[in-house]
A and B are shown apart, each in its own frame.
Chain A
């Protein structure tokens, strides 16, 4: 037991963080192995930077425990933790030159002058900035400042280096170089790196382990290959790499029905006739003559991407992306063959076909034929129906009846967009209001982690009066 614990350098147990009444981290648990390159990956606002700040000691969780080498370090201030941080904006000291920036931590530790000189020099050669000692940090390029920031943190010889989107401000080419360099530095210095990013490609390139986060929770932890090949849900599949994510029904073990076609797969244990999400990577689809495949589509767009062609194929109304080294011309009919192993079945993020809620009629008029109900503190008027005041109603809205109010005035305001996933025909958007989650279908792309006004189209609704005891 003790042995197993020693292997973990940082452990977070049941960490909960809230800011201004808003949940940022929802009871997360995370173990980080010594000497690994761990990437915390997620969209902005998912809580990844908060997680890093908790490990760094800049933020105390509302509840939960932080362990460092098996010792609880809650309440230990940053300057007493054997952890150093590379900040998002580098945060180099503008009044100090390159040498003094890097030597800052060593000087505080009262390291002898000769040793400081030696170690700064070593560090500068590791980050490839030999001879830059006397330069002013404000005169360095973004990439150079970045490397000074890394050197400044690494020279203190931390057990863990925290990196908060350090490559965000660099251009693409420099980023690629720095990715390779970071990985090399991590191996050379034998230090645990915890790296935060929203860039899936960065995560796949550098990491030993990827932690995918969304909405304050950890969705999946695994090696880059695991995360890519075996995403646990549509969110992870969508976030990492290109993917065809589709609604399907699991007919039974190893049998899935997709776009009306029954296919063989390798997943078991989902039950019978269970709605599921299916992910198929674009490169896992083999293009064959139409008569040799169950799925047939028409090529509508071809883009040459260097290594492969990216083809958009319409199967009925559903859009697929296929990566292939051989081009099929626009307008041609192709067959799509997928081996069972490459069909990844996932549980649905939000298991509901309809949005159901209960409400009481607070006022109504028979002559004008309308009712008013309250839902989460807002009053909503529904025209075209009449029920007595005080009647309890069950209202069912299909995902299509929900929309985002273009004029900014919704039936429910400040609804949080939790995820947006393209399902071939339309976007499936999961929203969260104060008391419940909503499933919406939309042809428009929306920005995740934002607050929007939500509008309901009650013409598509099923409204039924209920007895209070029927509510579940």
Chain B
């Protein structure tokens, strides 16, 4: 294959920032501390199986909640006046301009003991621990990643010809049937990219769990963050397993998407 000259900078970029780091991770994963070939990092990584599965579970729940919240929102947005659509898109984007950590701190303040929500619930006679558990982590993650679900869904839905929805109604379908038989099948590409964009980063996220989830190791991202400084090899092995798991997930997802597109 002959390379066209303008592609060269991109190839260098890919090599330096994508290929070399992956190769390095691979190397670290299969070597011990002194640099000899070894499965030791993987054996150590197995010790984190529970955290690993838990992370995937939390990421899954967060993704499902994001999808459930975003889908109707994206649908109604796509049916509004153009100017209103742009306004809502702005409103969804604005929080993303704020620093990630600040947004998590805001949730810490909201959820902490004697914080506004806790106080309000206490007045109603409900006494419960809002922070330091999985629930708080999921709330934080949904908040962080919601825009990444809304925007691809909205983009796909605003491209659905409104006449198709009218045609469905014309042929006897009520709103619910139209959603199920026309809107959902046609928005599958948006669902896939939304799910990818939420699930992948939330599976590997860190800090959210540290601030909202208490002291226990909840997310695998935090584990990697913690042990990488002392044990690069095990850290790399866990990262590699996570990568493979996500890759596997994406393959399944895309397969499902293709199926939907041809399905009758």
In the complex, A77 has a CB within 8 A of chain B: yes
What residues of B have a CB within 8 angstroms of the CB of A153 in the complex?
170-171
What residues of A have a CB within 8 angstroms of the CB of B169 in the complex?
58, 77-79
In the complex, A97 has a CB within 8 A of chain B: yes
- Assembly CA distance A58 to B167 (angstroms): 10
Instruction: For B166, give the chain A residue with the smallest CB separation.
Output: A58
Q: In the complex, how many angstroms separate the beta carbon of A288 from the nearest chain B beta carbon?
A: 56
What residues of B have a CB within 8 angstroms of the CB of A78 in the complex?
166, 169-170
- Assembly CA distance A95 to B168 (angstroms): 13
What residues of B have a CB within 8 angstroms of the CB of A108 in the complex?
171-173, 177, 181
6 A-B pairs with least C-beta separation? A105-B171, A91-B163, A91-B167, A78-B169, A108-B172, A95-B185
Of A58, A94, A95, A104, the contact of B171 (CB 8 Å cutoff): A104
A79-B170, A95-B186 known; A87-B163 Cβ under 8 A:
yes
In the complex, B68 has a CB within 8 A of chain A: no
Residues of A within 8 A of B (CB): 56, 58, 77-79, 83-85, 87-89, 91, 93-97, 99-100, 104-105, 108-109, 152-153, 156
What residues of A have a CB within 8 angstroms of the CB of B173 in the complex?
79, 104, 108
Sorting the interface of chain B by its residue count into under 10, 10 to 19, 20 to 34 or 35 or more gives: 20 to 34
- Assembly CA distance A428 to B194 (angstroms): 59
* A91 near B171: Cβ-Cβ < 8 Å: no
* A79 near B182: Cβ-Cβ < 8 Å: no
What residues of A have a CB within 8 angstroms of the CB of B264 in the complex?
96-97, 99-100
Q: In the complex, how many angstroms separate the beta carbon of A332 from the nearest chain B beta carbon?
A: 55
Instruction: For B161, give the chain A residue with the smallest CB separation.
Output: A91
Of A84, A89, A97, the contact of B161 (CB 8 Å cutoff): A89
- Assembly CA distance A196 to B172 (angstroms): 22
* B172 near A91: Cβ-Cβ < 8 Å: no
What residues of B have a CB within 8 angstroms of the CB of A99 in the complex?
264
Instruction: For A53, give the chain B residue with the smallest CB separation.
Output: B166
Q: In the complex, how many angstroms separate the beta carbon of B264 from the nearest chain A beta carbon?
A: 5
* B177 near A85: Cβ-Cβ < 8 Å: no
What residues of A have a CB within 8 angstroms of the CB of B177 in the complex?
108
* B166 near A87: Cβ-Cβ < 8 Å: yes
The 0/1 profile, CB within 8 Å of A marked 1, for residues 112-127 of chain B is 0000000000000000
What residues of A have a CB within 8 angstroms of the CB of B171 in the complex?
79, 84, 104-105, 108, 152-153, 156
Most chain A CB inside 10 Å of its own CB: which residue of B163, B170, B264:
B170
* A105 near B161: Cβ-Cβ < 8 Å: no
- Assembly CA distance A467 to B17 (angstroms): 87
- Assembly CA distance A269 to B226 (angstroms): 101
Q: In the complex, how many angstroms separate the beta carbon of A83 from the nearest chain B beta carbon?
A: 8
- Assembly CA distance A93 to B166 (angstroms): 11
Which residues of B in the span 169-199 have a Cβ within 8 Å of any Cβ on A? 169-174, 177, 181-182, 185-186
Instruction: For A152, give the chain B residue with the smallest CB separation.
Output: B171
* A109 near B172: Cβ-Cβ < 8 Å: yes
A-B contact pairs, 30 of them (CB 8 A): A58-B170, A77-B174, A78-B169, A78-B170, A79-B174, A84-B170, A84-B171, A85-B166, A85-B170, A87-B163, A87-B166, A88-B163, A89-B163, A91-B161, A91-B163, A91-B164, A93-B164, A93-B182, A93-B186, A95-B185, A95-B186, A99-B264, A104-B168, A105-B171, A108-B171, A108-B177, A108-B181, A152-B171, A156-B171, A156-B172
Instruction: For B162, give the chain A residue with the smallest CB separation.
Output: A91
